[in-house]
Every structure is written in structure tokens, then in C-alpha cells.
Amino acid sequence: MKTIRVACPAGSGLNFALNLLRPSFNHKVEFIAVGHERKDIKEEVPTLVILRDPHDAIASGAERYLRSSEHRYFAHGVPLLEDDNILSIIDQIINEEARYLHFFTDIESLKHVKILTFNTLTKDPDLFLQQVAKHFNIEEEIVKVPTPEIIEAVINEGNANRVPRETSPGRVKINRYVHALYPGNEFKSYEIYLLLKEKVDKGLI
């Protein structure tokens, strides 16, 4: 069985991607989530990475630390934040931006990594699957899985806070803080994102 690792910064669609990829190839390809850190993609094995606008990825990653988000993996042992804990939320946003930057800096030097975009994953999953199959030489027939089924699968795993949903009051605050800290494209992570996205869209990487 072919094995492909899947990774991305926190908040970049990993749960959605896995629940799309696994049934789409009749479970004949093993897709393994390996994490959100640069260290998780250093081993020279086939690895798929998802690229998302850092404004959204950072906000989604930081949201997991809100007690109100009920993030299942942070139920025990992780300090959770109240929605009104502004300074700690800002600290977490800054930490998520640093992790995003470290993850993608000079990522093109990792020849075993294939980058695809969050936009393609969520807006054109059929194209996303075709790109995966082509790059990783997957010959199995692609099974079409409707997006509502993917979302339902993510929810059934206990990750209801990882799917499109009504914006919570806590997330509204986080979005505002993210854009205040990192306005427009005036920060390094966004510059790297734009450069990588342009190359991905043109099929250069």
C-alpha cells in the first residue's frame, strides 16, 4: 500500500483533507497526518502539504485554544483561554504566526513535499484529488465523495469546530486581533504565502 503523509500549519484544513483523501481512493492509499510543525515534514518520504492564507490559518489555529471552541485534543493538559483573555489570546496568535513562518520558510528545498492550496481543497476538491493522484502516481480510481459527507465525517470524529460554521464571538475577536497585528500583506508569512501560491497555481512546484 502506498503511504502519503499529510501536514500543514494548524488551522489549514488537515481534518477536511484527510476525510476527503481516504475514501476517495477506496482506502487503497494510506494518508497519515503527521502534524503542524516543520519538524514533522523533514523526513524524506512522500508528503502532501496544504497552503492556506496565513490570516485565516493563524486565526483558526489560535481559536483552538479558546475554552469555548471545545477543541477535543486540548481537553486535558493544555491551558485554555477565556474569550476575554485578550493578552493571552494575542500571545497565542503571535505563536501561531511564528509556527506558520517556520513551517514554510525555504520549504521548496524539501523535494519530497508537494504543496497544494486550501482554496483548491475546499472549493474544487475534485481538482485537488486529481492533483494528488497525478503527483504521487496513484493509479486507483477516484471515488467522488460529496462535501456534506466529508463535513459530517469530520463532525463525527468530534471535530465540529474544524468545519465551516457560524463565526463564534471568540473567533470574531481573534480575527480582529490577527488583522490588527498583521495588516494586509505587511508581514513575512504573507509574503511567503503569496510566492508559494503563485508557483502552485502555475504548476511550478
pLDDT at 156 > cutoff 90: no
Are the C-beta atoms of residues 97 and 55 closer than 8 Å to each other?
no
Side chain identity, residue 94:
I
Q: What is the mean pLDDT of residues 76-98?
A: 91
Distance of alpha carbon 204 from the chain centroid:
21
CATH number at residue 42: 3.40.50
User: For the whole model, what pTM was predicted?
Assistant: 0.93
Res 41: pLDDT: 97
Parent domain of 62: 2-201
pLDDT band at 26 (very low <50, low <70, confident <90, very high): confident
pLDDT band at 95 (very low <50, low <70, confident <90, very high): very high
How far CA 140 is from CA of 31, 43, 103, 136, 145, in Å, comes to 14, 25, 31, 11, 15
% of the chain exceeding 90 in pLDDT = 76
- Cell numbers of 200, please? 502552485
Question: Phi/psi at 106 (nearest 5 deg)?
Answer: 60, 30
Is residue 40 within a helix (H) or strand (E), and if so which, with residue range? none
CA atoms within 13 A on the CB side of 67: 9
Question: Phi/psi at 53 (nearest 5 deg)?
Answer: -50, 125
pLDDT at 185 > cutoff 70: yes
Residues paired with 63 in a beta bridge: none
Res 158: pLDDT: 77
Q: What is the mean pLDDT of residues 181-199?
A: 93
Of 191, 172, 150, nearest in space to 84 by CA: 172
pLDDT band at 68 (very low <50, low <70, confident <90, very high): confident
- As for how many domains the chain has, the answer is 1
- Cell numbers of 170, please? 471568540
